[in-house]
């Protein structure tokens, strides 16, 4: 039962339960997976420290399987259909990657084993560091950060440590374009930096005069998302970077949109000083319903010493048939450790497999086809939905979810798409486009899927004019309708419990 | 090979629709001097070749399956029931995104709600979030939360030296640049004294006290008095826990803790060389607006059905931007699901059995090991499934000897605690048979006389 059930008065009707919780399904004395009695003499338990009651549910294995099976059917997924969420890179997650991460040699390695016993893991990590360096043009890479935002935090700490190590302590400002991801200001904010927002110009690029005016000797650096959240590659990127460097600042690259750049351009070659990768976007490790992600960080030569500890390196060069011996290294001026152990190793195995199977040409094909698909969709939709920037886009584009002569909003369009069995695009982001619909098809969709999606959106635009209520009330065909989000935030029912009379039921 | 499903003729048709001649024309905005670099990477492998290469690499590890392992120190070798991975491998779960569209994400949302409920019940707290990256980052986030709770007016944190060394290191990374005083975190401190030692460090400027339960050496303390002392000064207390231990020992919620965090890896998550794991985070309802991370709440949909949504999103980075209390944007979704399945299928009976097996086997091992001349237990306090063993020679030497007998020895405590040179931290779980423990004892006996 939930707190809500406890508070409910007889006048308040109970909502219809589509799938009970595991607490609802529990019955006293029922057991699932059990364990054998001890094969050693038992020791006395310290009575005063023991717990009287362990209020966890009691279910049989079959109850658990059917419960989660029923729940899984309520989810939309990449395996189930087209998922064009802008800036999320919801591409197909190859099945082989799942099998490789579960190889017993990887799955059962303890992170604190002597390094001589885990040479397989270390060789994989070392190689992945090398590959990511090459792909993005950096001098060194750490695999430790757990997610994109964690990589940002790492990068910002590195930037500040770099200035600090030079005695340059008056730098307290981070410049962030208004077309950046929302995590950028948060990552700078949590370490206590001031944020200065830089506007975009009429072509969606960073506004150069505004940038110049903001650059002085108090600037830590600029956090640049490129391609930005409009899906546009900054046409003046080299100048943007030069302006920041000229005032002594560093440039952080938000690598969330790297899928558009594989084999097309290396951010390090453009002068980006530090960048995070999102392995769960660009390199197809699964999103898992919200995580785990993985956010390695690459840096240019002058920032290598500040990377988190440990890095994987060669302890002893190989000779002939003998492979090199790999081990751990601590960079000279390290910012420290970002989490326990070595990063999301299981995700690293998946990304390694993915890169190995693509090679240089395959990676370039990913970017080319991701950009092809986005431009194709943009062309099909442009006459129906206003696209505020008349340019070739990169891997995604932003359209306005407004229809002339209708009161429907981007939200209604998004919800109505579910009735056509598509996942909606990202909406209301970026903030600089009204009623934004941010569409990223990725490279793993064929023309037929894109045609069907465009057709659905065009039909929805017609519906918006003729039958707007159809959109206001959408979705109609999904197992659940629109949510009362105000009620959720007001009542804050965040947990459920076994019923108060639970034991009596037994 | 690639996973691109576009045929050559489709590609031609699409380029024509866009109005460009060739695919390269889409990249005119890239600076020409840096466009289309030749990447120096190995040529693409097919699936059969990649599988061969990865299998080869995996064979380069000796794992806790081939070796007899007594290594823990924050990552534990437990049995994961088959059912956990069978459910995790449903594409509906693992290929879904963050549940921003609740109408088509109730599977993920209800499982997170159930996960939050399981964590709250296990820790004895009122609310839980949808998880953090791992135990270390969950501990680090408690400092941000306490700092925000006192609006930056209290600037001291008391950190027990018996919190996991890597958690303390992570916390130090997170707080660099904040003007915070960290007190108590002295590895040279007398580790033989209990939580009383920390009481003296708490003052009116202390925002938070952080302790571990069982502590890094496996010891179980009743923190009730420490928590009372902290509350008397208005200070919050965070207890970092091992979730398996909570099946047996009093929940920190019952001792009055304000925040309970921990590493969820013991709950059915493979060792996987250190990750991905699961940071759980539970607190009291009054602090929820200062808690970082996603939260799922119950509501109803337009059809009168019980349903779940992400709630309290106004605290989060995409709304609050630079004023957010944390920059966290993901949770450990799939790993939280794994823990929820594990707890559901073990239930109160199975989890208590696992905890008791760990306890009894560890105590048997400790009793047998301390009979060997030169070896002995370092501390006298009650402990769970891990204990500090003092050794007659350097741990590195002993572990090398054990490894020759295919035994993975304990964690070398001298790395982090100068006073514990020649001490190892031995972990014993339900995976260790009596025969394995006896073998450890036999091999160490040899080492003792050599």
pLDDT tens digits, A108-148: 999 999 999 999 999 999 999 999 999 999 999 999 999 99
Q: Give the start-end residues of each E strand in B12-100.
A: 68-69
Task: Please judge whether A359 and B61 are an interchain contact, meaning their C-beta atoms are less than 8 angstroms apart.
Answer: no
Please tell me the predicted confidence (pLDDT) of residue B51.
98
Rounded distance between C-alpha atoms, residue A303 and residue B279, angstroms: 29
Residues of A in contact with B20 (CB under 8 A): 392
Residues of A in contact with B298 (CB under 8 A): 2, 4, 488, 491, 493-494, 496
Query: Do A307 and A331 form a contact (C-beta atoms < 8 A)?
Result: yes
Task: Please judge whether A292 and B305 are an interchain contact, meaning their C-beta atoms are less than 8 angstroms apart.
Answer: no
User: Is residue A89's pLDDT more than 80?
Assistant: yes
Domains belonging to chain A, first-starting first, are 96-357 (3.40.640.10)
Closest partner CB to A481 (pick from B39, B67, B103) = B103
- Restricting to A residues 289-328, those with a Cβ less than 8 Å away from any Cβ of B are 289-294, 308
Q: Which two tokens stand for residue B268?
A: 């059915």
Task: Please judge whether A58 and B347 are an interchain contact, meaning their C-beta atoms are less than 8 angstroms apart.
Answer: yes
- φ, ψ of residue B99 to 5 degrees: the values are -75, 65
Q: Which two tokens stand for residue A442?
A: 């990725």
Give residues with Cβ within 8 angstroms of A206, minimum separation 6: A177, A179, A198, A200, A224, A234, A236, A240
Which of B27, B115, B330 to mutate to probe the A interface, most A CBs <10 Å?
A: B330
Rounded distance between C-alpha atoms, residue B404 and residue B407, angstroms: 7
Rounded distance between C-alpha atoms, residue B331 and residue A293, angstroms: 8
Q: What's B430's DSSP letter?
A: T
End-to-end CA distance of chain B: 56
A186 in contact with B at a CB cutoff of 8 Å?
Answer: yes
Q: What is the pLDDT of residues B60-69, one digit of tens each?
A: 999 999 999 9
Q: Which two tokens stand for residue A395?
A: 């891997």
- φ, ψ of residue B225 to 5 degrees: the values are -65, -40
User: Is residue A353's pLDDT more than 90?
Assistant: yes
Rounded distance between C-alpha atoms, residue B244 and residue B221, angstroms: 16
Residues of A in contact with B295 (CB under 8 A): 494
Residues of A in contact with B223 (CB under 8 A): none
Give residues with Cβ within 8 angstroms of A73, minimum separation 6: A479, B92, B107
List beta partners, residue B383: B219
Per-residue b/e over B184-222, b at no fewer than 16 CB within 10 Å?
bbebebebeebbebbbeebeeebbbbbbbbbbbbbbbbb
Give residues with Cβ within 8 angstroms of A363, minimum separation 6: A135, A262, A263, A355, B39, B41
Task: Please judge whether B61 and A42 are an interchain contact, meaning their C-beta atoms are less than 8 angstroms apart.
Answer: no
Rounded distance between C-alpha atoms, residue A444 and residue A455, angstroms: 19
Instruction: Identify the CA nearest to A446 among candidates B178, B38, B221, B8.
Output: B8
Q: Are strands B279-283 and B296-300 parallel, antiparallel or unpaired?
A: unpaired
Residues of B in contact with A498 (CB under 8 A): 121
Please tell me the predicted confidence (pLDDT) of residue A431.
86
Q: What is the pLDDT of residues A151-189, one digit of tens each?
A: 999 999 999 999 999 999 999 999 999 988 888 888 898
Q: Tell me which chain A residue has its CA closest to the CA of residue B69.
A: A110
Instruction: Identify the CA nearest to B218 among candidates B358, B339, B357.
Output: B358
Rounded distance between C-alpha atoms, residue B383 and residue B358, angstroms: 11
List beta partners, residue A322: A319
Rounded distance between C-alpha atoms, residue A276 and residue A155, angstroms: 7
End-to-end CA distance of chain A: 17
Fold of B82-342: 3.40.640
- Restricting to A residues 367-406, those with a Cβ less than 8 Å away from any Cβ of B are 368-369, 371-373, 375-376, 379-380, 391-392
Of A8-17, A364-373, A395-404, least confident by mean pLDDT is A8-17
Residues of B in contact with A337 (CB under 8 A): 136, 166, 169-170, 173
Please tell me the predicted confidence (pLDDT) of residue B179.
85
A481 in contact with B at a CB cutoff of 8 Å?
Answer: yes
Task: Please judge whether B135 and A69 are an interchain contact, meaning their C-beta atoms are less than 8 angstroms apart.
Answer: no
B38 in contact with A at a CB cutoff of 8 Å?
Answer: yes
Q: What's A318's DSSP letter?
A: -
Residues of chain B with CATH 3.40.640.10: 82-342
Residue whose entry in the numeric block shows the structure tokens 């990865």:
B54
Rounded distance between C-alpha atoms, residue B221 and residue B241, angstroms: 12
3-state secondary structure of B63: coil
The chain-wide mean pLDDT, for chain A, equals 95
Residues of A in contact with B86 (CB under 8 A): 65
Gap from A202 CA to chain B (nearest CA, Å): 16
Q: Tell me which chain B residue has its CA closest to the CA of residue A189.
A: B322
Rounded distance between C-alpha atoms, residue A182 and residue A406, angstroms: 30
- φ, ψ of residue A306 to 5 degrees: the values are -95, -5
Residue whose entry in the numeric block shows the structure tokens 């891997």:
A395
A40 in contact with B at a CB cutoff of 8 Å?
Answer: yes
Q: Tell me which chain A residue has its CA closest to the CA of residue B58.
A: A105
User: Is residue A447's pLDDT more than 80?
Assistant: yes
Residues of B in contact with A362 (CB under 8 A): 1-2, 44
A428 in contact with B at a CB cutoff of 8 Å?
Answer: no
Rounded distance between C-alpha atoms, residue A90 and residue A97, angstroms: 16
Alpha-carbon torsion A460, A461, A464, A467, what sign? Answer: negative
- φ, ψ of residue B238 to 5 degrees: the values are -110, 130
Residues of B in contact with A97 (CB under 8 A): none
Q: CATH for B68-79+347-449?
A: 3.90.1150.10
Task: Please judge whether B83 and A488 are an interchain contact, meaning their C-beta atoms are less than 8 angstroms apart.
Answer: no
Closest partner CB to A32 (pick from B104, B176, B346) = B346
- φ, ψ of residue B298 to 5 degrees: the values are -85, 145
Please tell me the predicted confidence (pLDDT) of residue A4.
61
Asked casually if ipTM beats, i.e. exceeds, 0.90, the reply is yes
Instruction: Identify the CA nearest to A18 among candidates A57, A53, A70.
Output: A70
Which parts of chain B have pLDDT scores under 70? 314-325, 448-450
Per-residue b/e over B277-299, b at no fewer than 16 CB within 10 Å?
bbbbbbbbeebbebbbbbbbbbb
3-state secondary structure of B181: strand
Residues of chain B with CATH 3.90.1150.10: 68-79+347-449
Gap from A482 CA to chain B (nearest CA, Å): 5
List beta partners, residue A426: A438
Task: Please judge whether A146 and B7 are an interchain contact, meaning their C-beta atoms are less than 8 angstroms apart.
Answer: no
B442 in contact with A at a CB cutoff of 8 Å?
Answer: no
A218 in contact with B at a CB cutoff of 8 Å?
Answer: no
Give ∠ CA A325-A326-A331 in degrees, rounded to 5. 140
- Restricting to B residues 193-212, those with a Cβ less than 8 Å away from any Cβ of A are none
**Percent above pLDDT 90 for chain A:** 91
Query: Do A230 and A429 form a contact (C-beta atoms < 8 A)?
Result: no
Residues of A in contact with B26 (CB under 8 A): 368, 371-372, 375, 392
Task: Please judge whether A357 and B1 are an interchain contact, meaning their C-beta atoms are less than 8 angstroms apart.
Answer: yes
B31 in contact with A at a CB cutoff of 8 Å?
Answer: yes
Q: Tell me which chain A residue has its CA closest to the CA of residue B244.
A: A54
Which of A105, A322, A497 to mutate to probe the B interface, most B CBs <10 Å?
A: A105
Q: What is the pLDDT of residues A310-352, one digit of tens each?
A: 999 999 999 988 999 999 999 999 999 999 999 999 999 999 9
List beta partners, residue B174: none
Residues of A in contact with B116 (CB under 8 A): 494-495
Per-residue b/e over B25-35, b at no fewer than 16 CB within 10 Å?
ebbebbeeebe
Gap from A465 CA to chain B (nearest CA, Å): 23
């Amino acid at each position: 039962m939930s707190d809500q059930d406890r508070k409910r008065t007889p006048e308040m009707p109970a909502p219809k339960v589509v799938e009970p919780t595991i607490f609802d399904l529990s019955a006293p004395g029922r057991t699932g997976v059990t364990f054998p009695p001890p094969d050693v003499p038992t020791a006395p338990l310290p009575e005063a420290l023991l717990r009287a009651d362990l209020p966890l549910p009691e279910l049989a294995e079959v109850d658990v399987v059917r419960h989660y099976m029923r729940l899984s059917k309520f989810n939309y997924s990449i395996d189930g259909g087209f998922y064009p969420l802008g800036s999320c890179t919801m591409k197909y997650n190859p099945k082989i990657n799942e099998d490789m991460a579960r190889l017993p040699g990887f799955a059962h390695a303890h992170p604190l084993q002597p390094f001589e016993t885990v040479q397989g893991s270390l060789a994989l990590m070392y190689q992945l560091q090398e590959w990511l360096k090459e792909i993005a043009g950096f001098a060194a890479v750490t695999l430790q950060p757990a997610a994109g935002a964690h990589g940002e935090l790492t990068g910002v700490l590195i930037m500040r440590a770099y200035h600090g190590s030079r005695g340059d302590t008056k730098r307290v400002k981070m410049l962030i374009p208004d077309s950046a991801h929302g995590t950028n200001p948060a990552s700078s904010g949590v370490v206590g930096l001031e944020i200065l927002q830089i506007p975009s110009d009429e072509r969606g690029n960073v506004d150069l005069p505004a940038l110049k005016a903001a650059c002085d000797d108090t600037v830590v650096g600029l956090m640049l998302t490129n391609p930005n959240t409009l899906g546009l590659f900054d046409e003046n990127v080299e100048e943007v970077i030069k302006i920041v460097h000229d005032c002594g600042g560093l440039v952080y690259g938000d690598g969330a949109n790297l899928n558009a750049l594989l084999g097309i351009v290396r951010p390090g070659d453009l002068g980006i000083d530090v960048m995070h990768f999102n392995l769960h976007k660009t390199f197809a490790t699964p999103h898992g319903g919200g995580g785990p992600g993985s956010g390695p960080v690459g840096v240019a030569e002058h920032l290598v010493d500040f990377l988190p500890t440990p890095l994987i390196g060669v302890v002893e060069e190989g000779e002939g048939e003998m492979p090199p011996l790999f081990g751990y290294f601590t960079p000279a001026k390290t910012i420290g450790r970002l989490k326990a152990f070595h990063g999301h190793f299981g995700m690293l195995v998946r990304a390694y497999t993915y890169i190995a199977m693509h090679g240089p040409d395959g990676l370039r094909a990913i970017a080319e086809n991701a950009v092809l698909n986005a431009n194709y969709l943009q062309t099909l939709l442009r006459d129906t939905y206003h696209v505020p920037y008349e340019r070739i886009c990169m891997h995604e584009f932003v359209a306005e979810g407004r229809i002339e002569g209708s009161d429907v909003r981007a939200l209604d369009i998004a919800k109505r798409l579910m009735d056509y069995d598509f996942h909606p695009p990202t909406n209301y982001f970026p903030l600089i486009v009204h009623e934004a619909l941010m569409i990223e098809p990725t490279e793993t969709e064929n023309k037929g899927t894109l045609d069907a999606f465009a057709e659905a959106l065009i039909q929805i635009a017609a519906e918006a004019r003729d039958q707007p209520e159809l959109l206001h009330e959408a979705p109609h065909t999904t197992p659940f309708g629109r949510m009362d989000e105000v009620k959720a935030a007001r009542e804050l029912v965040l947990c459920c419990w076994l019923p108060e009379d639970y034991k009596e039921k037994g | 090979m690639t996973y691109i499903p576009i045929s050559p003729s489709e590609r031609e048709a699409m380029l024509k629709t866009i109005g460009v001649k060739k695919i390269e024309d889409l990249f005119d905005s890239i600076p020409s001097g840096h466009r289309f670099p030749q990447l120096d990477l190995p040529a693409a492998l097919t699936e059969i070749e990649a599988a061969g290469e990865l299998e080869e690499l995996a064979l380069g590890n000796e794992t806790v399956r081939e070796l007899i392992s007594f290594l823990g120190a924050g990552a534990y070798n437990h049995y994961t029931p088959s059912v956990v991975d069978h459910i995790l491998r449903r594409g509906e779960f693992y290929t879904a995104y963050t549940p921003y569209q609740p109408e088509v994400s109730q599977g993920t949302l209800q499982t997170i709600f159930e996960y939050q409920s399981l964590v709250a019940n296990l820790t004895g707290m009122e609310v839980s979030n949808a998880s953090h990256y791992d135990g270390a980052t969950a501990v680090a986030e408690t400092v941000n939360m306490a700092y925000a709770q006192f609006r930056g007016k209290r600037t001291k944190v008391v950190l027990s030296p018996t919190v996991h060394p890597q958690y303390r290191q992570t916390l130090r990374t997170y707080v660099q640049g904040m003007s915070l005083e960290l007190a108590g975190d002295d590895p040279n401190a007398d580790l033989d004294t209990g939580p009383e030692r920390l009481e003296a460090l708490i003052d009116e400027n202390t925002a938070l006290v952080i302790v571990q339960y069982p502590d890094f050496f496996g010891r179980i303390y009743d923190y009730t008095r420490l928590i009372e002392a902290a509350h008397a000064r208005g200070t919050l207390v965070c207890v970092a826990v091992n979730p398996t231990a909570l099946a047996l020992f009093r929940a920190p919620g019952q001792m009055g803790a304000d925040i309970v965090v921990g590493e969820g890896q013991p709950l059915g998550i493979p060792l996987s060389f250190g990750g991905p794991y699961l940071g759980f985070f539970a607190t009291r309802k009054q602090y929820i607006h200062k808690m970082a991370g996603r939260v799922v709440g119950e509501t109803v949909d337009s059809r009168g059905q019980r349903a779940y949504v992400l709630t309290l999103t106004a605290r989060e980075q995409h709304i609050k931007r630079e004023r957010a209390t944390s920059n966290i944007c993901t949770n450990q979704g799939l790993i939280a699901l794994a823990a929820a399945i594990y707890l559901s299928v073990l239930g109160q009976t199975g989890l208590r059995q696992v905890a008791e097996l760990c306890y009894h086997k560890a105590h048997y091992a400790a009793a047998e090991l301390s009979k060997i001349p030169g070896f002995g237990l370092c501390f006298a306090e009650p402990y769970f499934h891990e204990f500090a063993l003092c050794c007659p020679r350097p741990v590195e030497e002993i572990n090398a000897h054990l490894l020759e007998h295919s035994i993975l020895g304990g964690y070398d405590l001298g790395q982090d605690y100068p006073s514990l040179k020649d001490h190892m931290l031995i972990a014993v779980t339900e995976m260790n048979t009596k025969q394995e423990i006896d073998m450890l004892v036999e091999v160490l006996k040899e080492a003792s006389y050599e």
